[in-house]
Structure 1
Amino acid sequence: MVLRYAKFWWRSGNAHGLHSPFVFNLYCFVIHHKGHHAAYDQVEALRKNLLKDSTLLEVQDFGAGSHTGNTKTRKISAIAKSAAKPRRLGQLLFRLAQHFQPSTVLELGTSLGLTTSYLALANPNAQVITLEGCPALAAQARKNFTEMGLNNVEVVQGNMDQTLAQTVARLDRLDFVFFDGNHRYAPTLQYFETCLPKAHEGSVFIFDDIYWSSDMAKAWQKIKQHPQVLLTVDLFYIGLVFFRTNQPKQHFTLRF
């Protein structure tokens, strides 16, 4: 990861020299926005409580190519510390969702629901659907959403290899998708291809941990090359994909 980040830093840039007005505004006023939102306090209060919760959960891991799920007992506090997205990235996702105001948000990988909460608070009128393989995590996430007063979130529990296609099939369109379900090459591309038919001119697809492994880096390169993908923004930690047909195919590597 250190080597990958060093290579990223060497080739990445910032707002200087950005000739795309769309990307310039996105980078300066959304990605690097320094203001504060009340939603930050709400979600971080939940995180603080989870970090103190010693309740044990039987966690099934369906990621990394597993189809049966490897079960182990973990404290909620340990999951919140190691598996939840850090505050900085959660708040970036909030700003992106707030900026684009999607009506339909799909998240692949719920965990404890911290990122989901950020996405749901960004647009309370949006339909937010989040997919989670582990029954215990799905149940805990539902509990967290109830405590947060989030009424626009639906948790779909089950192996994502089955539930994703079923969920996408019942939706008319996908405005905003956050891919954080399986950090391997083939599943990442499979999930992308499953969601692609419901993408449109204004859709935003966001891929997490694009340099987490050689598999993910390879998948990210493949996604960038897809003919329907016309604009990508590489922030190292996440990759943004757009389908804007009113401009030539472009790729930006920017520091965050």
Structure 2
Amino acid sequence: MRKGALGILMSYLHFRKKCLPKGGYGIHSPFVFDLYTTTIENDSRESVFESIEVYRKELLGCDIGIIRKSIAESLNGGFRGELVKLSRIARTASVPPHLGRLLYRIVNRFKPNVMLELGTSVGISSMYIAKANPQGVLYTIEGDEAVFGIAQKRFDTMNITNIKPICGIFETELPSIAREVPGFDFVFIDGDHNGTKLLQYFNVILPKLNENSVVVVDDIRWSNDMEDAWRELKANRQVSVSIDLFRCGVLFFRKGIAKQNFMLRYGPF
């Protein structure tokens, strides 16, 4: 169950008490210090962001509703057959601009060849990821047919050719993709805010990760079970470095680096 406002506030106060200050002070890992100061904290605005944010504004101002075609509790409380306005989906299910920019900069820095996203929604995060590395290919899975159609149409309109959108449930489509590709260089998990399922998905992708892979997990404080799952992911013996940015977490698998966990500030946090 999602945390209420009080639960989120308590989590944030705990985070602020333990996190390092902005500016990179206190980060003793050269790898993390460089990543934080040049990629995470350096929140520059690229011209490519404009077309994505124009699309977001279009959706936020849209009064059109769609009929949900799958159970999607983890997205915004909607269920199959419910009429939901596109503006609500864009407001509640899409990544905020600061997280979209972060995804862009991480992908742009590491240039992953094979990318995976669990939870396309209306396609905003997909576009940030795909545009960051046009030479890579992004597999993105969405379980709601109606929402999937909206995203797919926008990808075509914007002529983004390195996205392979897939409509289906994660439990079925994820293993299928894992069998098809040589490995995953970048993964963004943002489609099912359930700690148990998060661990299941991670166990599917884990054998396909390499020492240069990056995994970003959104909404790690959505609920108590998501926080528990995040702690378990951090403790995984194959994870060398984890970075907690309050809303999301970033995992690295690099060899030759002592296992470390960081709590760092970014964006509004």
Class of the TM-score when normalised by the shorter of the 2 chains:
over 0.9
Residue number in structure 2 paired with 1:56: 65
Q: Which amino acid aligns with 2:55?
A: L
Shifted more, 93-102 versus 54-63: the winner is: 54-63
Residue number in structure 2 paired with 1:154: 164
Q: Indicate how the Cα distance of structure 1 residues 64 and 87 shifts in structure 2: closer, same or farther if over 3 A, else same.
A: closer
Q: Alpha-carbon deviation of 1:165? A: 0.8
For normalisation by structure 1, the TM-score amounts to 0.95
C-alpha distance in 1 between matches for 2:61 and 2:37: 36
Residues 1:169 and 2:179 are matched in the alignment: yes
CA-to-aligned-CA distance 1:78-103 (integer Å, 9 cap, x gap): 21122111111111111111111111
Residues 1:111 and 2:118 are matched in the alignment: no
Q: Alpha-carbon deviation of 1:64? A: 4.5
Task: Give the alignment partner of residue 17 of structure 1, picking from 14, 22, 26.
Answer: 26
Mapping for residues 55-94 of structure 1, pairs under 5 Å: 55-59=64-68, 60-64=70-74, 70-94=80-104
C-alpha distance in 1 between matches for 2:149 and 2:101: 24
Q: Alpha-carbon deviation of 1:5? A: 0.6
Residue number in structure 2 paired with 1:38: 47
CA-to-aligned-CA distance 1:195-236 (integer Å, 9 cap, x gap): 001100100001001111101000000111111111100101
Identity between Structure 1 and Structure 2 (%):
37
> SS of the counterpart of 1:47?
helix
Task: Give the alignment partner of residue 194 of structure 1, picking from 204, 213, 225.
Answer: 204
C-alpha distance in 2 between matches for 1:102 and 1:50: 29
For normalisation by structure 2, the TM-score amounts to 0.91
Matched residue count: 253
C-alpha distance in 1 between matches for 2:172 and 2:125: 22
C-alpha distance in 1 between matches for 2:99 and 2:71: 22
Q: Alpha-carbon deviation of 1:53? A: 2.1
C-alpha distance in 2 between matches for 1:122 and 1:172: 21
Unaligned runs of 5+ in 1: none
C-alpha distance in 2 between matches for 1:117 and 1:77: 18
Residues 1:138 and 2:148 are matched in the alignment: yes
CA contact (8 A) 2:117 2:187 kept: yes
> SS of the counterpart of 1:200?
strand
CA contact (8 A) 1:120 1:128 kept: yes
> SS of the counterpart of 2:184?
coil
Residues 1:100 and 2:129 are matched in the alignment: no
Shifted more, 179-188 versus 190-199: the winner is: 179-188
C-alpha distance in 2 between matches for 1:89 and 1:186: 24
Q: Alpha-carbon deviation of 1:24? A: 0.4
Large movers: runs of 4+ above 6 Å: none
Residue number in structure 1 paired with 2:4: none
Unaligned runs of 5+ in 2: 1-7
CA contact (8 A) 1:63 1:181 kept: no
CA RMSD after TM alignment: 1.3
Q: Alpha-carbon deviation of 1:26? A: 0.7
CA-to-aligned-CA distance 1:168-221 (integer Å, 9 cap, x gap): 110101000001121112100000000001100100001001111101000000
> SS of the counterpart of 2:257?
coil
